[in-house]
Amino acid sequence: MEMIPVIKKNLSDSITHNLRDYINNMDLEKNSKLPPENVISQNYGVSRVTVRRALDELEQEGLIIRIHGRGTFVNTQATHLKINFGTSEEFSQMIEKSGYKTRIELVSFHQEKADIEKADLLNIHQGKPLIVVEKNYFADRNLAINNIDYIPVSLFENIPDIEEWRINSNYVIMRKHAGVLVARERIHVESMSKKEVANYTGEANKYKCDSLLSLSGVLFDSSNSPVCYGLAFFDSQFLHFEMIRTQVAY
């Protein structure tokens, strides 16, 4: 796979994304070694510092292994992970990677005022308007994920109409209409009963399981400013998260 120079916007994240694509298209049975940093730098048209930051990110995810004096190699164990807990993906992609057909349903689209908790998380004043987008993601015919996002109205000069929110991911909407590129996410993970999930969404009874994996998180742009607060409730019988952790040698 040829390394094509990228547009120099949010460089480190762009290089990380492009290197993931490069790795996914490598024939790892023949070669698992990445080109040297200076070659990657020249091919992408960016500095070695930017390349090093991208490789640091991939190393933290467990996707690559650096061996002193030998170079950088793809961790073939990591390529077997269907859903990497350390990497953010759109929910429809997660479902498809797990072997199901996905269908997305827009449950609700409205505005509400930020309470003190959401205002604090999004670094805005209490009472400021939020766009609330709730969607269901189905694995075949089964509800796999319910997702509720809270996005400050102030990000948009003009709020897109409901049809755009129905057919596009919130990431695409924010990038296209607000110029916001989501770069990272801080998440909190816990287990919840279906009864507890019902405190957040009226969709809880559509799940076939009794307990759900709950992820709540704040999304940040490339300048580390919060741009969205989200809640997602997963039926883990359809979606299995995995991760590779870097371990201190004992």
Cβ-in-10-Å burial (0-12, 13-18, 19+) of 2 comes to: exposed
Q: Give the mean pLDDT of the chain.
A: 85
Q: Domain 11-80 class?
A: mainly alpha
> Does the fold of domain 91-234 match that of domain 11-80?
no
pLDDT at 1 over 50: no
Write down the domain spans for the chain. 11-80, 91-234
Give the tens place of pLDDT for each residue, 89-101.
678 888 887 888 9
pLDDT bin (cut points 50, 70, 90) of residue 3 is very low
pLDDT at 141 over 80: yes
Give the tens place of pLDDT for each residue, 29-72.
888 889 999 999 998 899 999 898 888 888 877 788 888 888 89
Give the tens place of pLDDT for each residue, 222-246.
888 999 999 999 998 887 666 555 6
The better pLDDT of the pair 235, 17 is held by 235
The pLDDT of 140-165, averaged and rounded, is 95
**Residue 179, phi then psi, degrees to nearest 5:** 65, 25
3-state class (DSSP) for residue 45: coil
pLDDT at residue 242 in the model: 65
Amino acid at 193: S
C-alpha dist (Å) from residue 14 to 7, 25, 27, 52, 144:
8, 17, 22, 13, 30
**Hey, CA dihedral for 108, 109, 115, 116, is it positive or negative?**
positive
pLDDT at residue 249 in the model: 53
The better pLDDT of the pair 214, 8 is held by 214
pLDDT at 183 over 50: yes
Burial of 39-52, coded b for 16+ CB within 10 Å and e otherwise, reads: ebbebbebeeebbe
Per the CATH hierarchy, to which homologous superfamily does domain 91-234 belong? Chorismate lyase-like (3.40.1410.10)
